[in-house]
Chains A and B, each alone.
Chain A
Amino acid sequence: MILSPNRSHFGGPCAARTSTLATLRGSIEHIEAHGDAYLPDRVALGHADADATLQGGLALGAMHEVFAEAGRQSAAATGFVAGLAGRAAARRPMVWVRQDFAEIESGALSMSGLAELGLDPRVLVTVRAADVDTALKTAADALACDALGVVVLEVWGEARQLDLVTSRKLTLAAQASGVTGLVLRVAAEPSPSTAETRWIVRAAHSPPSTPLSAWGAPVFDAQLVRNRHGPVGRWIMEWKCDERLFEKPAAYPQPVAAAPAHRPYQTPALVRKRRVG
């Protein structure tokens, strides 16, 4: 009988177990390190606090979700998505996939309005999907095309089809191609997904000013409720149409409380409201 040097009568099985454990730990670490090694390019939004929270800006080649809680907030959420798309696309073509029902319910995306926001309607291709299934399939197809800058998927209401599996598929497609995916959900409650960030956007008041300049630039009350790689927060953002970036409004009288900085990875528990039809 030949004994290997590290296999004694006393410590033999124990040492073998330790080495197996070490190997497993090593491989888990390797997997985890590999997962964390995915460091996406980021594009700054322009809003200093939000960029700091997002560690440099919006991650490219990832999925981001923007929610409007009620149908009447759809324009604000659309504007926020358009702003994000404008930042992320950088003059590359954009595909906007939307459901027929969204257009009936909250109006069609107006190209004149998009041009007024400082974005370029020439690079936008709109896909009019009849239902959610078609929209999802088309969005997945478009996300795999690396000639695009941004793919926007607009879904109205609760969509059973947009589950964790679909979300994972979209995320993988976005990572593989480097195309940024933006999901605009109107009148929907957040559900589990693999998105990099999740926002809830509401319209904010125009800052009070003289009656002559009553009508101001677009202002959003943007709440970051999920961030896979950092803390969350809530900011009032103003979209600068000429510079094409988000900024802190110059004088806003009601500062919003900052999110607690010591709870970095926690998504605040959402109060699920019972919907009464």
Chain B
Amino acid sequence: MGTGSREENASKQNSNNPSIVVAKQNNALQISALDDAAAHLGLDIGLPLANARAICPQLQVFDADEAADARALNAIAAWCDRFTPLVALDSPHGLFLDITGCVHLFGGEAAMMRRVCDVLTAQGFTVSAAIAGTAVCARTMTRHVHGHIVGEGEEADAVKPLPVSALGADGAITTGLRRAGLKTIGDVASRARHEITARFGAGFTTLLEQALGQGDAPISPRKPLPDYIVEKRFAEPVATDGVISATLSRLAQMLVVAMAQQGKGARRLEACFFRTDGAVRAIAVDTGQPVTRAGMIDRLFRERLDALSDPLDPGFGFDLIRLSASRTEIVVQQQRDLDANVHDNDELAALIDRIAARIGGQRVVVHLPQDTHIPERAVLAAPAQHHLAAAACAVWPARVEGEPPLRPLRLFEKPEPIKVPFATVPDGPPHHFTWRRATHAVVRVEGPERIAMEWWQQDGQALTRDYFRVEDEAGLRFWIYRDGLYGSELVNEEGKPAPSNWFVHGLFV
């Protein structure tokens, strides 16, 4: 299917003047798209803007906006999801729809194609569509005729009368073919394959064979095919929250029944809301454990919908709501009643899923110990949905019996600089220090604990730190460090000891 560009449509509604879209190519503005009125004047794609202006002075000219075109194409592709889950982009202005097995739902191929084209035309797009056995054949057809349905095995006959430019090969190849007197695809096909390959390359031969229906290249869909899809279509668009949530619950039940037949549970769910005006909103929910209960799916989506930063906007209503399980897992059935622990873990996982659905999976974390001495890297916060089991059996370094805590309870992500006027001995602890505009006199000290950076790492050249545990006169306890070894790492250009920087890294109980 091919569509016209955005500006073209906009201009059509505004005036009857012929309009063109220009883009800069080889340092010259050339026509990249044009409407019917401009085409009647004899303008063509690739013509320089100056020539076009000379032919038609009242021409309306728009600058090409490739990003906006790509967005528009993506939006159309999202809308096409209602016909088939396999929609592929054929940039800059084509779409492939794999309609294998979907046709009977829309009353046959012709009815389906008419419906797609009618809606897109009503939206102001110029559409050219074709249905064929291979993607390349269908694309070749759309370049020249609109609305053609190529039957099984008739691909070669259908494309043979078309000009070689319809194949969409390189400009150089098309020109070369024309110079060789091969005007139609049929002419090219009549030559021996090895001649064509020798002259134009193996890529072109493959393209030609695919156009003739003698081989097929797979399309690459925008989204992976979901494992399970359930959907509800509405004759009358729905816009109220009550109906939407009731529909989601009913869809959740249908999905669960479908999954239960194969013993599956959903790990990732996606709800798509198709608006009547073509906009599509997709909302995804991840779960930590395979979900097999409709009530839980329903609740997760309710949490997610409640917490959306830009709420679901029904506009003039949704005419299709679809629920799909994009990732599923086999559910291992456990005997729950005898083991309270398993039940507790399920409850905790469900709670984590609910919170994650509302505030985001990255914000619910468990903690995994890391094999490093550097304090800020000693613990990794990992999403709880995926690492709950790993965290539960993690091995933390054992504390030394009888010792007071050696690590602070609160650790600053970024150590905060403190002012230390002087230390009693050059590499000793400070006598007093100023942190956040308050001065603390050091009463008790323990240290230093020297932590060297990891020289084998990327940023391992950082300075060695001497950590001190200090207590001030009010009983507050700090974990402070001096950055760099006095006299060896901290030297100025003349080799003399340089002043050191002090930081507070954490607070002890």
Chain A: residues with CB nearer than 8 A to chain B? 72-76, 78-80, 82, 92-93, 95, 103, 106-118, 120-130, 134, 137-138, 141-142, 145-148, 202-206, 214-221, 239, 241-242
Residues A141 and B509 in contact in the complex (CB < 8 Å), given A146-B347, A214-B446:
no
Q: Which of A114, A125, A137, A241 contacts B348 (CB 8 A)?
A: A125
Name the CB-closest residue of A to B404. A217
Residues A134 and B359 in contact in the complex (CB < 8 Å), given A113-B409, A124-B367, A242-B402:
yes
Q: How far is the CB of A157 from chain B (nearest CB, A)?
A: 15
Cβ of B405 and Cβ of A218 under 8 Å apart? yes
Residues of B with C-beta under 8 A to A142: 351, 355
Q: Which of A125, A130, A239 contacts B364 (CB 8 A)?
A: A125
Q: Considering the complex, which residues of chain B in the window 377-415 have a beta carbon less than 8 Å from any beta carbon of chain A?
A: 378-379, 381, 384, 388, 391-394, 396-397, 399, 401-413
Q: How far is the CB of A27 from chain B (nearest CB, A)?
A: 38
Cα–Cα, bound, A242→B398 (Å)? 11
Cβ of B348 and Cβ of A147 under 8 Å apart? yes
Residues A215 and B367 in contact in the complex (CB < 8 Å), given A75-B476, A113-B409, A145-B348:
no
Cβ of B404 and Cβ of A215 under 8 Å apart? yes
18 contacts between A and B (CB under 8 A): A72-B438, A75-B410, A75-B508, A76-B476, A110-B408, A111-B367, A112-B379, A112-B397, A115-B397, A118-B399, A121-B396, A122-B391, A125-B384, A138-B355, A145-B351, A147-B347, A203-B476, A239-B509
Cβ of B381 and Cβ of A126 under 8 Å apart? yes
Residues of A with C-beta under 8 A to B436: 72
Residues of B with C-beta under 8 A to A137: 358
Cβ of A111 and Cβ of B369 under 8 Å apart? yes
Residue of B381, B411, B507 with highest tally of chain A CB at under 10 A: B507
Cβ of A112 and Cβ of B364 under 8 Å apart? no
Q: How far is the CB of B357 from chain A (nearest CB, A)?
A: 11
Residues A125 and B405 in contact in the complex (CB < 8 Å), given A147-B351, A203-B477:
no
B157 on interface, CB distance cutoff 8 Å? no
Cβ of A122 and Cβ of B402 under 8 Å apart? no
Cβ of A72 and Cβ of B476 under 8 Å apart? yes
Residues of B with C-beta under 8 A to A219: 475
How many residue pairs link A and B with beta carbons under 8 A? The number is: 187
B506 on interface, CB distance cutoff 8 Å? yes
Cα–Cα, bound, A148→B348 (Å)? 7
0/1 interface trace, chain B 327-367, chain A, CB 8 Å (1 if under): 00000000000000001111110111011001100011111
Name the CB-closest residue of B to A92. B344
Name the CB-closest residue of A to B409. A113
| 6 more A-B residue pairs beyond the given contacts A107-B413, A111-B369, A218-B405, with a C-beta to C-beta distance below 8 A | A72-B438, A110-B407, A118-B399, A121-B367, A141-B351, A145-B351
B474 on interface, CB distance cutoff 8 Å? yes
B469 on interface, CB distance cutoff 8 Å? yes
Residue of B474, B507, B509 with highest tally of chain A CB at under 10 A: B509
The 7 A-B residue pairs with the shortest CB-CB distance in the complex, in nearest-first order: A79-B509, A107-B410, A75-B507, A147-B347, A116-B405, A218-B509, A113-B409
Residues of A with C-beta under 8 A to B384: 125
Cβ of B471 and Cβ of A206 under 8 Å apart? yes
Q: How far is the CB of B363 from chain A (nearest CB, A)?
A: 4
Cβ of A117 and Cβ of B348 under 8 Å apart? no
Q: Which of A122, A123, A126, A205 contacts B365 (CB 8 A)?
A: A126
Cβ of A115 and Cβ of B509 under 8 Å apart? no
Cα–Cα, bound, A141→B350 (Å)? 11
Residues of B with C-beta under 8 A to A204: 475
B53 on interface, CB distance cutoff 8 Å? no
Cα–Cα, bound, A219→B405 (Å)? 12
Cα–Cα, bound, A107→B504 (Å)? 11
B445 on interface, CB distance cutoff 8 Å? yes
Cα–Cα, bound, A260→B445 (Å)? 38
Residues A214 and B378 in contact in the complex (CB < 8 Å), given A111-B369, A124-B366, A141-B351:
no
Residue of B343, B365, B404 with highest tally of chain A CB at under 10 A: B404
Cβ of B348 and Cβ of A215 under 8 Å apart? no
B375 on interface, CB distance cutoff 8 Å? yes
Residues of A with C-beta under 8 A to B413: 103, 107-108
* Chain A binding surface, main DSSP class: mixed
Cα–Cα, bound, A180→B42 (Å)? 81
Residues of B with C-beta under 8 A to A92: 344
B444 on interface, CB distance cutoff 8 Å? yes
Cα–Cα, bound, A103→B346 (Å)? 29
Residues of B with C-beta under 8 A to A202: 475
Residues of B with C-beta under 8 A to A79: 409, 509
Residues A128 and B365 in contact in the complex (CB < 8 Å), given A110-B506, A203-B474, A215-B471:
yes
Cβ of B410 and Cβ of A125 under 8 Å apart? no
Residues of B with C-beta under 8 A to A241: 399, 403-405
Name the CB-closest residue of A to B359. A134
Q: How far is the CB of A250 from chain B (nearest CB, A)?
A: 14
Residues of A with C-beta under 8 A to B474: 203, 205
Q: How far is the CB of A109 from chain B (nearest CB, A)?
A: 6
Residues of A with C-beta under 8 A to B352: 125
Cα–Cα, bound, A78→B446 (Å)? 22
Q: Which of A72, A110, A128, A220 contacts B409 (CB 8 A)?
A: A110
Q: Which of B392, B411, B444, B475 contacts A113 (CB 8 A)?
A: B411
Name the CB-closest residue of B to A220. B509
Q: How far is the CB of A221 from chain B (nearest CB, A)?
A: 8
Cα–Cα, bound, A238→B43 (Å)? 90
Residues of A with C-beta under 8 A to B438: 72
Cα–Cα, bound, A137→B351 (Å)? 13
Residues of A with C-beta under 8 A to B402: 242
Name the CB-closest residue of A to B416. A107
Cα–Cα, bound, A73→B366 (Å)? 26
Cα–Cα, bound, A123→B394 (Å)? 10
Q: How far is the CB of B481 from chain A (nearest CB, A)?
A: 14
Residue of A92, A93, A116, A205 with highest tally of chain B CB at under 10 A: A116
Q: How far is the CB of B332 from chain A (nearest CB, A)?
A: 20
Q: How far is the CB of B370 from chain A (nearest CB, A)?
A: 10
Name the CB-closest residue of A to B507. A75
